[in-house]
Each structure stands twice: as C-alpha cells, then as structure tokens.
Amino acid sequence: MQRVVVTGVGAITPLGENADTLVQALNQGISGVRALDAPWTAQLASPLAAPVTVPVETHFPKLRRLVLDRVAQLSLLASREALSQSGLDFHGDAGLECGIFWGTGMGGATTLEQAYVESLLNKATRPRPSTIVMFMANSAAGQIGIEYKIRGPSFTYSSACSSSAVAIGEAFTAIREGRIRYAVAGGGEALLTLGVMKAWESLQTLAKPDPLHPEASCKPFSKDRSGFILGEGAAALILESAASAEARGAGILAEIIGYGNTTDASHITQPDAGGQARAMCAALSQAGVGPNEIHHINAHGTGTLVGDVSETQAIKQAFGEAARRIPISATKALHGHLMGATGAVEMVAALGALQTRTVPPTAHLDHPDPECDLDYVPEGARTLAVLDTVMSNSFGFGGNNAVLIARRYSS
C-alpha cells in the first residue's frame, strides 16, 4: 500500500478567494452569511445565504464561459489554487497518472433553472445549446480535465452533503492501492437559485434568521439552533503518493491515513448515529489510531435540531470516554452549508487547523444544549500544544456517511 499525502489545497468560499482566507476567517469567527442581493429573494421566507462574493466570472474569457456554469467556474478556481501550490503540471506524461475525483450535489443548478424558466415560462425562447453540458453532474470534472490536461480516470460523486468527502476518500483509496500517482479531489456547488432555495425552505431545514445578528443565524450545537444556511463554493486537494512527493521534493501539508464510508439504511433525511459511528470507526481502524489519538474533529455540525444530537451521540459511540476530550468544531456556522462542496471545504479547514495547531471555534454557540454536551470550542479559536491528527465528518441525505482522517506527515 502507498502512503498518500496532500501537496496542495485550494478553496473559494463565502469566506474568501483562497484556502488561507478560509482558515483565517474561521479562526477569527468571521461569518460569510448575508442577505442575498437579488430581486427574487422577495419570494423567499429568508434572503440569507452564504454566497461567494469575490469575482468569479472575470477569471474566464467570454468564449470559455459559454460552457461553464458557475459550479464549474468555482471548481476550476479551487483546482487552480491547489495545483499551483503543489507545483505539479499535468500537460506532460504526469497527466496520464492523475485522476479527477469530484463531488457535487446538483451540478449546474443555475443553468438548469435558467433552461426551465426559458422553456416553461417564456415559451418564445429556447434553452441555450450548451445547457446540457453545463448542468450535467460531471461538467466540473470534465472541465477540470480539459483546463489542466488531466487524463487519468475521472469520477463524479453525488451523495448530497458528503459528496466531496467521498471524492477525497475514493481518491485516497486509488492512490493508496497504487492505481494512480496523483489526484485532484474535492467538490463544487453553486445552487443559490430561487427554485432550489424555495425547495430547501419547504424541507424545513434552513435556519430562521437571527433578528439582531443575521450573520449568526446558524448556531450548531446551541440550544436555540434552527437549521443551516445554504452556501456555495468549491475546494480541492492535490493528493499524491508519498514516494512521488518525496522524490520531487514537494512541500507536504499532511498525510491522509483513514477513510470510512457507510450507509445508514434507515431514513432518507433523518441521520442515524449508528451509521455515523460506524463510519468513524472504519476510518479509525484503517488509520490504525485509537480514540485518544484524534486531536480535533471538524464536525458535520449543520445546526439542525436532529442532526447535531445524532452526531454527538455518534462521536460518543465511536470514541467512548475520549469523546469529551476532543475539541470539535462546526465551521458551517461561518461558511454555510456548501452541500456537495462542504466536505472538501471542511477538510481544508481541518488541514488548516493541523498546520496552525489552532482549532477554529463553533461560532454562535451561546446556549449549550444538554443533549449536545461535548467540547465544541464555543469560546473562540483555541491553540493546542499537540495537534497532529484530525478527523472530518460529512453526512449526507440518503444516509451516506464519509469520514476522513489526516495527520502531520513525517517520513
């Protein structure tokens, strides 16, 4: 088995244009949640969302944009940052040894909604000819290959909120087993459209606006939590065999050591603590580390009434007594719930914690819930004397649970 390391990270999120701005904003407790600036928000119960506010379109020539939905644009920008940090160039033979593992919940949601509007509401017009290639789920993966000449295997994973964690886990597995040498792994999501947001409202999982502090409306693990805030963005990791990274003298950010993936098989939306605990245990087992050796967990922590209790129970099941000693952060309070991209964004956050030895806070946790009684770091960022191994949890509708473990690399 090959050891698998991370040699590049990239993220374009509601907290800024790159991975550094994400990690810094999380540690400072800055929220990316705001009222969307669009006339159609009048049709929503709440205009709150976590949009990417840095320029996106301007990075691409007009002719290129003809086939790039916003989700592909975000995905390309995150991949570009990660590739740049890795120092890899896939135009040559290396491109044949690199795979693409990408997660998305909805693919090109903006394009699809526009096509519906044109077809159903405005019958005189017709969808653009590039509609299909912009909304298909694998559009971002295809465009990443085209842009960076990555020619190995490519896969698109869609398991709702765990999509990009699954993508990273499967990329890790492929390199570990020696099938490929490199991977671009992560995910993108861009679903802040009227139709999609109304559908989420109907599901009753979105946070009620905090009347005084709307940016603090998502309150994971707090007694007064009421749900999550939809967000958009993308994040990418460059994974590589440790042997390859060492041979070329690459900067190694971390080693991925464990991945667990389970299915609840119980309910399409209600999480199952048992299924989540099994995924954590599977990742711990593969990593060969015990409960006391995990120093930080980036929780799935969506801020729903049911979800946060389930995850708390699952962590207790998986870690036993050690559960109370682990600092746990729910960063969705600040960057929002990026659906198919969120697992990758949170893995970037967890790797940032590893590198800075600083755990980001669970923001807006002002009223502890007796049913959520672990250490969620409510007081603000916390620097630890020892922070060498981190876990990131991602649980998706449909009952999929994906858990990743990374540690500080030492040869």
Partner 1 sequence: MLVEEFGLTPEQVHAESRLDELGVDSLATVEFMFMLEDKFKLKMTGEPVPIKTVGDIAREVDAMVAKQGIVLDAGGQAS
| Catalytic hit among 295, 296, 335, 337 | 337
CA neighbor of 100 nearest in space, from 170, 29, 26, 24: 170
Among 39, 61, 92, 249, interactor with partner 1 by CB under 8 A: 61
Taking the least distance from each CB to partner 1, the nearer of 63 and 212 is 63
Contacts of 226 by beta carbon, 8 Å cutoff, 6+ apart = 207, 208, 217, 219, 303, 305
Q: What track of x and - describes contact with partner 1 for positions 10 through 49 (by CB under 8 A)? A: ----------------------------------------
Catalytic annotation on 295? no
CA neighbor of 278 nearest in space, from 292, 301, 261: 261
Q: What track of x and - describes contact with partner 1 for positions 246 through 265 (by CB under 8 A)? A: --------------------
Taking the least distance from each CB to partner 1, the nearer of 132 and 252 is 132
**Residue 124 CB, nearest approach to partner 1 (Å):** 10
**Residue 135 CB, nearest approach to partner 1 (Å):** 14
What is the identity of the amino acid at 103?
A: G
Region of 147 (left: φ > 0; alpha: ψ -120 to 50; beta: rest) is alpha
Residue for token pair 């905090």: 210
Catalytic annotation on 267? no
Segment contacting partner 1 (CB under 8 A): 60-68, 194-202, 234-242, 315-323?
Answer: 60-68
Segment contacting partner 1 (CB under 8 A): 89-97, 127-135, 262-270, 282-290?
Answer: 127-135
8 forms beta bridges with 238
**Residue 122 CB, nearest approach to partner 1 (Å):** 12
Rounded CA separation 196/104 (Å): 14
Tokens of 98: 């690199």
CB atoms within 10 A of CB 8: 23
| Catalytic hit among 300, 335, 364, 372 | 300
Burial of 51 (0-12, 13-18, 19+ CB in 10 A): buried
Segment contacting partner 1 (CB under 8 A): 123-131, 184-192, 194-202, 284-292?
Answer: 123-131
- Which residue numbers are catalytic? 161, 300, 337
Q: Using CB under 8 A, list all residues that contact partner 1.
A: 61-63, 66-67, 126, 128-130, 133
